[in-house]
Amino acid sequence: MALRLFNTLGRKIEEFKPITPGRVGMYTCGPTVYDYGHIGNFRTFVFQDLLRRYLKYKGYKVTQVMNLTDVDDKTIKGARREGVSLKEYTATYTKAFFEDLETLNIERAEYYPKATEHIDDMTRMVKKLIEKGYAYRRGDSAYYDISKFKNYGRLSGIKIDETSQRSRVEADEYKKEARDFALWKAWDEEDGDIFWETELGKGRPGWHIECSAMSTRYLGETFDIHAGGVDLIFPHHENEISQSEGANSQKFVNYWLHSEHLIVEGRKMSKSLGNIYTVRDILKRGYSGRTIRYLLLTAHYRAQLNFTEAGLKQAEASIGRLNDFLQRLRTQQVDRENPEIPKKCLEVRTRFEEAMDNDLNVPEALAAIFDFLRDVNRLIDTNGASKENLDEIYDTMLRLDTTLGVMETEKEAELPEDIMQLIKLRENARRRLDWKEADRIRIELLEKGIILEDTSEGVKWKRKR
Ligand code: AMP
Ligand code: ZN
């Protein structure tokens, strides 16, 4: 089955056809590294990861590029406030960003280019735009004249006359028109010692040009997919198109994908509204990275997702069910062959793929998995399962999880050596009938998050949730 995706350019669901068969080039707008990312940002990054993982599931070789915006008003302001270099300042938040990716089990992209390391690519592109008449210089600044680009507004549907009302137009006495946007910003006092001396003058790049220049460098002039949050459609992505297509005279991107916002009590989670939670805030409240990931994944990416404590609890319970099921498969006693099980495995794979092929419909894909859990549990309870049956169920779950990334793999389910030792010590204590010592160890394990159950088949353990 073919993958179908909603293309913002044209606003309809289309079959995905890559430029080169079997390969996908994908550019995803990344973070501005001036602070810890909030989970709204990470909803978008988890979505991009889901897309990447499902493309890989379908057998594509993916080349993903994600930019790191390490120079702009906010990073400069932060560095100057703290009295450190821009590099030092952004390094802190870049490191934090990668830690958060790890926490959320987001796969690494192939490239994470930094804006400050691609100034040459950007100035070259700006010069080309000036030569071709799309851009003009004023002093040490350069601007894009959007009236020159005939397709301006095709992505967002915004007409040129409306642009000044819709975008956060920066007051700037040098622009011909308020709606024009800066490609290169002349140095001013607020920039302190942060500037580059280039042929365009002393200054720094505008934000939009970095994505056009770096995507061309790593993916070529035309590539398959460009993704980001909906707030980037206008003006950021509209501007990227006008820059790249203006400079390269080629179609920039075939499929534009945008994920909806994470909201809190009906409003977008954003720093300016002061309603933000970082990944770290939520970890501190005792939830795991997988739980946060699960919550961010559960809604369809084109629907808003309301962030609540109840949602986190529900996500935690759902992951618990998935992991308990995997644990059951690992410890289930082997019985005779159950011919219904291979049918169920095929059915869940088919339903999962149909849902995901349909514009990444995660809610339906998850519904298929939970139906599978219920049916298979019942089948094993009533008729048992052979070793082959159990392996097939287990492999099916892990295969689906290569896309979702929420389940506990065998390795993670294994206990660390010190805990295994404690469990053995407790068993020895019980054999000696030293109940006091056995209890002491049980409590120690509980404090480490491990619950022991003494069953007729021996001691079993599970993780505290
Ligand atoms: P920034 O670090 O501000 O450049 O944003 C990084 C990414 O987060 C962009 O793709 C934004 O569209 C996205 N984003 C910002 N706020 C939210 C939100 N509340 N929900 C989902 N995505 C968001
Ligand atoms: Zn971008």
Q: Residue 28 belongs to what H/E stretch? A: strand 23-28
Ligand nearest to the CA of 226: 2
Q: Within a domain: residue 288?
A: no
CB half-sphere exposure, 175, CA atoms < 13 A: 19
Mean pLDDT, the chain, whole residue set = 94
8, 28, 39, 41: residue to mutate for ligand 1 pocket, most atoms within 8 A of CB: 41
**Does residue 17 share a domain with residue 77?**
yes
28, 34, 44, 232: residue to mutate for ligand 1 pocket, most atoms within 8 A of CB: 44
Q: Within a domain: residue 357?
A: yes
Phi and psi for 88 in degrees, rounded to 5? -65, -45
3 state DSSP class of 170 = coil
Q: Within a domain: residue 312?
A: yes
**Does residue 398 share a domain with residue 427?**
no
| Residue 7 · residue 14 · CB < 8 Å | yes
The amino acid at 186: A
Cβ of 262 closer than 6 Å to ligand 1, yes or no, is yes
Is the pLDDT assigned to residue 451 strictly greater than 90?
Answer: no
Region 83-110 average pLDDT: 98
Q: Which of 109-123, 155-169, 185-199 has the lowest mean pLDDT?
A: 155-169
How far is the centre of ligand 1, averaged over its atoms, from the C-alpha of 37 (Å)? 9
**Does residue 125 share a domain with residue 113?**
yes
Q: What is the pLDDT of residue 169?
A: 56
Percentage, residues of the chain above pLDDT 70: 96
How far is the centre of ligand 1, averaged over its atoms, from the C-alpha of 276 (Å)? 12
Is the pLDDT assigned to residue 239 strictly greater than 90?
Answer: yes
Q: How far apart (Å, rounded) are the C-alpha atoms in residues 42 and 28?
A: 12
Supply the range of the domain harboring residue 459.
Answer: 415-463
The angle formed by the CA atoms of residues 203, 217 and 32, to the nearest 5 degrees, is 55
Q: What is the pLDDT of residue 465?
A: 55
3 state DSSP class of 374 = helix
User: pLDDT (tens digit, 9 = 90+) per residue, 403-422?
Assistant: 999 998 766 677 788 888 89
Q: How far apart (Å, rounded) are the C-alpha atoms in residues 318 and 314?
A: 6
Q: Within a domain: residue 274?
A: no
Ligand nearest to the CA of 208: 2
Is the pLDDT assigned to residue 263 strictly greater than 60?
Answer: yes
Ligand nearest to the CA of 207: 2
Q: What is the pLDDT of residue 420?
A: 85
**Does residue 421 share a domain with residue 376?**
no
Is the pLDDT assigned to residue 5 strictly greater than 90?
Answer: yes
Other beta carbons within 10 angstroms of residue 300's beta carbon come to 17
Number of domains present in the structure of the chain: 3
How far is the centre of ligand 2, averaged over its atoms, from the C-alpha of 236 (Å)? 6
Q: Within a domain: residue 181?
A: yes
**Does residue 421 share a domain with residue 407?**
no
Nearest to 82 by CA among 92, 68, 69, 72: 92
- The first and second tokens of residue 92, run together, are 């802190």
Residue at which a domain ends, from 412, 431, 448: 412
How far is the centre of ligand 1, averaged over its atoms, from the C-alpha of 267 (Å)? 13
The amino acid at 300: H
342 prior amide bond cis, ω within 30: no
Identify the CATH number of the domain in which residue 69 sits: 3.40.50.620
Q: Which of 124-128, 158-162, 253-257, 426-430 has the lowest mean pLDDT?
A: 158-162
Which pLDDT band, with edges at 50, 70 and 90, does 277 fall under? very high
Q: Which atom of ligand 1 is nearest to the CA of 41?
A: 8
Ligand nearest to the CA of 44: 1
Is the pLDDT assigned to residue 278 strictly greater than 80?
Answer: yes
Q: What is the pLDDT of residue 170?
A: 60
**Does residue 430 share a domain with residue 408?**
no
Q: What is the pLDDT of residue 16?
A: 98
**Does residue 159 share a domain with residue 200?**
yes
Region 79-89 average pLDDT: 97
29, 32, 74, 231: residue to mutate for ligand 1 pocket, most atoms within 8 A of CB: 231
**Does residue 255 share a domain with residue 363?**
no
Cβ of 361 closer than 6 Å to ligand 1, yes or no, is no
Cβ of 44 closer than 6 Å to ligand 1, yes or no, is yes
Ligand nearest to the CA of 258: 1
User: pLDDT (tens digit, 9 = 90+) per residue, 25-36?
Assistant: 999 999 999 999
Q: Which of 161-170, 252-261, 384-393 has the lowest mean pLDDT?
A: 161-170
3 state DSSP class of 13 = strand
CA distances from 227 to 193, 257, 325, 356 (A): 33, 5, 34, 17
Q: How far apart (Å, rounded) are the C-alpha atoms in residues 345 and 57?
A: 17
Cβ of 229 closer than 6 Å to ligand 1, yes or no, is yes
User: pLDDT (tens digit, 9 = 90+) per residue, 308-362?
Assistant: 999 999 999 999 999 999 999 988 999 999 999 999 999 999 999 999 999 999 9
Q: Which of 166-170, 261-265, 427-431 has the lowest mean pLDDT?
A: 166-170
**Does residue 392 share a domain with residue 313?**
yes
Region 155-180 average pLDDT: 75
Phi and psi for 93 in degrees, rounded to 5? -80, -25
**Does residue 81 share a domain with residue 53?**
yes
Q: Within a domain: residue 421?
A: yes
The angle formed by the CA atoms of residues 78, 169 and 167, to the nearest 5 degrees, is 105
Q: What is the pLDDT of residue 97?
A: 98
Q: What is the pLDDT of residue 165?
A: 61
Residue at which a domain ends, from 194, 225, 259: 259
Cβ of 269 closer than 6 Å to ligand 1, yes or no, is yes
Residue at which a domain ends, from 389, 412, 435: 412
**Does residue 384 share a domain with residue 325?**
yes
CA 190 to chain centre: 33
Cβ of 338 closer than 6 Å to ligand 1, yes or no, is no
Query: Whole-model pTM above 0.95?
Result: no
How far is the centre of ligand 2, averaged over its atoms, from the C-alpha of 227 (Å)? 9
Q: Within a domain: residue 277?
A: no
Region 207-221 average pLDDT: 98
How far is the centre of ligand 2, averaged over its atoms, from the C-alpha of 237 (Å)? 7
| Residue 344 · residue 335 · CB < 8 Å | no
Region 11-38 average pLDDT: 98
Is the pLDDT assigned to residue 6 strictly greater than 90?
Answer: yes
Is the pLDDT assigned to residue 166 strictly greater than 90?
Answer: no
Q: What is the DSSP letter of 114?
A: B
Q: Which atom of ligand 1 is nearest to the CA of 262?
A: 20
Residue nearest (by alpha carbon) to ligand 1 atom 15: 41
Q: Within a domain: residue 368?
A: yes
Which pLDDT band, with edges at 50, 70 and 90, does 82 fall under? very high
Identify the CATH number of the domain in which residue 396 sits: 1.20.120.640
The amino acid at 161: D
Q: How far apart (Å, rounded) are the C-alpha atoms in residues 202 and 206?
A: 13
Cβ of 90 closer than 6 Å to ligand 1, yes or no, is no
Is the pLDDT assigned to residue 148 strictly greater than 60?
Answer: yes
* The residue to which tokens 């400050």 are assigned: 116
**Does residue 433 share a domain with residue 456?**
yes
Question: Is residue 415 exposed (0-12), middle (13-18) or buried (19+ Cβ within 10 Å)?
Answer: middle
